Structure 1
Amino acid sequence: MIVVMKTGSPEVEVNRLTEEFSSWGLSPEKIVGSHKVVIGLVGETVDLDPRQIQEASPWIEEVLRVEKPYKRASREYRQGDPSEVTVSTPNGAITFGEQHPLVVVAGPCSVENEEMIVETARRVKAAGAQFLRGGAYKPRTSPYAFQGHGESALGLLAKAREVTGLGIITELMDAADLEPLAEIADIIQIGARNMQNFSLLKKVGAQGKPILLKRGMAATIEDWLMAAEYILAAGNSNVILCERGIRTFDSKYTRNTLDLSCIPVLRSLTHLPIMIDPSHGTGKWEYVPSMAAASIAAGTDSLMIEVHPDPKKAMSDGPQSLTPERFDQLMRELSVVGKAMGRWIEQPALAAV
């Protein structure tokens, strides 16, 4: 249930109402929109009469029920206003959101060694990426496949950030690794295989670092939004949704089916920022450019592209990785689409790093 305050409502009255709703056993959350303040009421609201709430203050404009099972993640919870996730990086603050320029995240599937991750970071930054992605802990289908270097790889990511100033995105698999990973990561990734690991979602929701929540391989959009609700309900409002392809009946030609229709669907259902990962979505580097361009045209807020200095020697996901040279070319191509969509800011000339 949401309480929409009238334009110009005094802050003291908003605070008074918040305290009163708390005394009713509810969890009120103040949401400051572009034009109005909304108080979200979470708890047992089924038996509450909206008229009873309306009478609590002359400054209340209307009281609405949120019909979606994902309350905090629903677009109506913010009265249609999109949310923003702003991340401080050594190169400055970067904002993910519907009304902001496209954010590009790039890097290898796994951190292999210092030379490889630092050189890749230099190259993707020079091409215009704002964040470096790289796995320290890697969930793999086979127990015999490379699982990542673990905590030692976090130090290598820190080195890459020191050299380039890029923000860092890396995946958390186990709550036991949250503290050391959060010291390095600017954004914590929850991978597709952990999308419904609810105890892990509660843990990351109880801390302040932004969360990148990847869609599960067989998850519906509602499953995905309910997973985001776990993080939001635990207190962390900084959530980015990442589509990375889902399992369908046709797996002969691509690794997964990249569901670009989720972009307009999510826009109508949620206020959360959207990222698209065409690398995992297709599994083949040659399909990544067209799907990346299509993602921008469809309205994504961010892209995650896998880049490796020598994909044939990559310890994981080489077939879907672009070389730095191909990534350079891709960024030039994407700038055309991005500018046409009003989502692209030309990167300033970068000094050597």
Structure 2
Amino acid sequence: MIIILKESATDAQVDHVVERVEAMGLKAHLSKGTYRTVVGVIGDEDKIRTAPLGAIAGVAEVVPVQPAFKLASRTAHPEPSIIEVGSGKVVTKIGGGHLGMIAGPCAVESAERMDEIAGAVKAAGANLLRGGAFKPRTSPYSFQGLGEEGLKILREVGDKHGMPIVTEVTDPRNVELVAEYSDMIQLGARNMQNFVLLTEVGKTDKAVLMKRGMAATVKDLMMSAEYVLSQGNSKVVLCERGVKGFDNATRNIYDVCAVPQAQEMSHLPIIVDPSHATGRPELIPACALAGLAAGADGVHIEVHNCPEEAMSDGPQALLPEQYAELMAQLKKVAVAIGKTF
């Protein structure tokens, strides 16, 4: 860690900073320049990371050398992680050249509809089935999901078609229930910084899909993943799903740059979700292809066989035949960049 002092810092203030560092059992290396004085801190940064050094008189800035997200960083794990989702003979790998292709409706509506959609996306090449049983909605009067009945339907359909299932948890009280039925627990954008929920999910042994918050930086996403990792669950997959911006032409701003940025910072796989990023079916194919070409470890797309009857996010869903056409294109890109699904 490096502590940069103000140009106006007095010798007494500099000495006080050195005393505070040494009192924590660390070494202070003093470097005086023409205009600035810098104190290099040598030792375990964890001892000093939460100390309010920026509040000391004369201190201009405190700069950590190591990232705060230790477990998620490349420093801790130089090679890309490969996350396995599922169990037994039905396992999908994500990361390290393996692509996780997640598809399905926004919400589980009925067993018949779920079965039909699952059959279609599986035939197109999807290797993970998604569907929401618990739905965080902006309006309290909107469809909130079928709850445990939805989880049962999703589990039965996933088993029938040989696909691991992905579903969202919205409440710490439901973590155990969702973990019982699912293969991968989704932490949605609205809950990316619900730290109580992150901690509880981190105590499970299920793979986790961590979506970037609507106003979150890539570093914020890493810190949220760190909460899950710190509880002992190392099976985290990141997801870029767009952030809020000033342009209302799309639902969100699709940040393709977040993919290589996250991969530079972290060993965790990262996938893209152009459905929530754009909210417009006509834009989803191009954005999905761009995400994969940028190096994403998978693509998450909402698919519905009758969007006009969908109980949640119908306008942004692709029809099964549109998804099949897109998957044919994605397979060509995967071959070109040396990845498989």
Fold shared per TM-score above 0.5: yes
CA contact (8 A) 1:279 1:305 kept: yes
1:205–1:42 distance in 2 versus 1, CA, 3 Å: farther
Q: Within 5 Å, which residues of 2 pair with 1:239-258?
A: 239-251=236-248, 253-258=249-254
Q: Return the letter of the residue paired with 1:82.
A: P
Aligned mate of 2:145, from 135, 144, 148: 148
Match of 1:93? 91
Q: Within 5 Å, which residues of 2 pair with 1:195-344?
A: 195-251=192-248, 253-344=249-340
1:178 positional shift: 1.3
CA contact (8 A) 1:307 1:324 kept: yes
1:44–1:333 distance in 2 versus 1, CA, 3 Å: closer
What is the distance in 2 between the residues matched to 1:66 and 1:176?
38
1:93 positional shift: 2.4
What is the distance in 2 between the residues matched to 1:144 and 1:42?
51
1:74 positional shift: 1.0
- Give the secondary structure class of the aligned counterpart of 2:224: helix
Segments of structure 1 that go 5 or more residues without pairing to the other structure are: 2-40, 48-64, 346-353
1:143–1:67 distance in 2 versus 1, CA, 3 Å: same
Match of 1:166? 163
CA contact (8 A) 2:90 2:163 kept: no
After TM superposition, the structure 1 stretch with the greater mean CA deviation from structure 2, 88-97 or 101-110, is: 88-97
What is the distance in 1 between the residues matched to 2:45 and 2:202?
18
Q: Return the letter of the residue paired with 1:87.
A: V
CA contact (8 A) 1:201 1:231 kept: yes
What is the distance in 2 between the residues matched to 1:115 and 1:95?
28
1:100 positional shift: 2.1
Match of 1:136? 133
Q: Within 5 Å, which residues of 2 pair with 1:38-57?
A: 44=46
Match of 2:76? 77
Q: Return the letter of the residue paired with 1:83.
A: S
RMSD: 1.9
1:233 positional shift: 0.9
Tell me the alpha carbon deviations over residues 145-196 of structure 1, each in whole angstroms, 9 at most, x when there is no partner. Answer: 1111111101100110121011100000011111221111100000000000
- Give the secondary structure class of the aligned counterpart of 1:231: helix
1:91–1:166 distance in 2 versus 1, CA, 3 Å: farther
CA contact (8 A) 1:101 1:342 kept: no
TM-score for both structures, normalised by structure 1: 0.78
What is the distance in 1 between the residues matched to 2:112 and 2:186?
23
Q: Return the letter of the residue paired with 1:146.
A: F
Sequence identity (%): 48
- Give the secondary structure class of the aligned counterpart of 1:76: coil
Q: Within 5 Å, which residues of 2 pair with 1:18-33?
A: none
1:45 positional shift: 5.0
Q: Return the letter of the residue paired with 1:96.
A: I
What is the distance in 2 between the residues matched to 1:208 and 1:321?
31
Q: Return the letter of the residue paired with 2:118.
A: A
1:311–1:89 distance in 2 versus 1, CA, 3 Å: farther
- Give the secondary structure class of the aligned counterpart of 2:237: strand
Match of 2:112? 115
1:176–1:234 distance in 2 versus 1, CA, 3 Å: same
Which structure: larger Rg? 2
CA contact (8 A) 2:289 2:330 kept: yes
Q: Return the letter of the residue paired with 2:232.
A: G
Tell me the alpha carbon deviations over residues 246-293 of structure 1, each in whole angstroms, 9 at most, x when there is no partner. Answer: 001111x11111110001111111111101000001001111100010
What is the distance in 2 between the residues matched to 1:42 and 1:154?
45
TM-score for both structures, normalised by structure 2: 0.80
1:86 positional shift: 1.1
1:132–1:90 distance in 2 versus 1, CA, 3 Å: farther
Match of 2:187? 190
CA contact (8 A) 1:279 1:288 kept: yes
CA contact (8 A) 2:97 2:338 kept: no
1:138–1:42 distance in 2 versus 1, CA, 3 Å: farther
- Give the secondary structure class of the aligned counterpart of 2:76: helix
What is the distance in 2 between the residues matched to 1:195 and 1:88?
23
Segments of structure 2 that go 5 or more residues without pairing to the other structure are: 2-42, 50-63
